[in-house]
Structure 1
Amino acid sequence: MKEQTDDNPKPPEEVQDRIWELAKKIDICAFTTWDGERQRSRPLSARLSRDEHAIYFLVDVNGSKNAEIEQFPYVSCFWANNGDYKYVLISGKAVLSNDRARIADLWEDADRAWWEDENDPSIRLITVTPEDGELWDSPGKPVALAKMIFAAVTNTAPKMGDNAKVGL
């Protein structure tokens, strides 16, 4: 499935590459779940593996997101680099597990802020299988600001860079 806006003539494969690249570079995403009545987002550090077509998150056994995923497994992950006007959205199906080998494999020193080590029994793994992605990829802040000023002066809509939706 391919959907692209008029502002992005790039082939879907190139858009997919850029989505994975930016998400990995930005790291922290707003991880959004649904509880049956409303959405809830929280910042989580993402471990992306394009080769495995997966996004991994280490989380605590306690937390409403775990129950929400069990009942409503479709989630979205949104990465934002506001300084350069670069944004990525990936949606897909999430699964919560207690895969101890994978948790140990994904463990990073920064995780010590929440757990003593990778053997902490309260760590759980969320695995997201991406289905759709969207990209907003500006040429950078100075260029974006110049385009906005030009658009304001000429009373036209600014062309801010690439925007495309693709299947992942």
Structure 2
Amino acid sequence: MTTPNNRDEQLQKLRDMVKGIDIAMMTTVDEDGSLRSRPMSCNSEIEANGDVWFFTYASSHKVTEVEQQQHVNLSFADPHKQRYVSMSGAAQLVRDRQKLAELWQPQLKAWFPKELDEPDIALLKVTVEKAEYWDAPSSWLAHTISFLKAVTTGKTADTSENVKLSLK
């Protein structure tokens, strides 16, 4: 599989993959040092520099965890398309009303019934420092061709694209 060869192409591919998956498992560090993960929607949005925003309640436990240890990991997975993304960086609570309004989408009302008038509404911004993605052809034919090529050449099957990016 062809791998995007320059950083801009790789970052754009990362953004496209995240937009296509939307739900991340956000992993934080709890007070006792254990890891905790929960599903979070980024509303299919990722900034040009790779930063990701999540709506949250400022009083939620994940915010308490982030305030004590800001390093987080975001894991996105689409097993049907064989696409996976892992991003790590620093999270921070943001209460910027203008940014809240900019990122608001109607479906968020399911979690925030008072919409932007919700008193405790806030954003978690993840400034992504490192990212890695895996993208494999999901069709049976693509896997078969790669397998047959490996058998006939004696080389390992190359069925996926794996790229590591440093964003900061």
The answer to whether residue 117 in structure 2 is matched with residue 119 in structure 1 is: yes
Q: Match of 1:21, as an amino acid? A: D
Q: Is it true that 1:22 corresponds to 2:20 in the alignment?
A: no
Asked if the contact 1:73/1:95 (under 8 Å) is kept, the reply is: yes
Worse-matched range after superposition: 134-143 or 78-87 = 134-143
Structure 2 unaligned residues grouped into runs of 5+: none
Query: Aligned letter for 2:40?
Result: L
- More strand per residue: 1 or 2? 1
| Corresponding position of 2:70 | 73
Distance 2:24 2:14 in 1: 13
Contact 1:86 1:136 in 2 (8 A): yes
Moved more, 31-40 or 108-117: 31-40
Q: Residue 40 of structure 2 corresponds to which residue in structure 1?
A: 44
The alignment yields a C-alpha RMSD, in angstroms, of: 2.6
Counterparts of 1:166 and 1:52, CA distance in 2: 11
- Give the total of aligned pairs: 162
Q: Given the alignment of the two structures, is residue 13 of structure 1 paired with residue 8 of structure 2, yes or no?
A: yes
Supply the distance in 2 between the matched residues of 1:102 and 1:92 (Cα, whole angstroms). 20
Q: Percent identity?
A: 31
What is the one-letter code of the residue matched to 1:78? S
Question: Aligned-pair distance for 1:41?
Answer: 1.0
Q: Which amino acid aligns with 2:166?
A: G
CA contact (8 A) 1:15 1:135 kept: no
User: Using the alignment, how far apart are the partners of 2:61 and 2:161 within structure 1?
Assistant: 35
1:142–1:95 distance in 2 versus 1, CA, 3 Å = same
Q: Is the 8 A contact 1:28 1:43 kept in 2?
A: yes
Partners of 2:38 and 2:142 in 1: CA distance: 28
Q: CA deviation at 1:94?
A: 0.7
Secondary structure of 2:48 counterpart: helix
Please name the residue that 1:130 is paired with.
128
Q: How does 1:47-126 map to 2 (within 5 A)?
A: 47=43, 48-51=45-48, 53-116=50-113, 117-126=115-124
The separation in 1 between residues aligned to 2:134 and 2:69, in whole angstroms, is 27
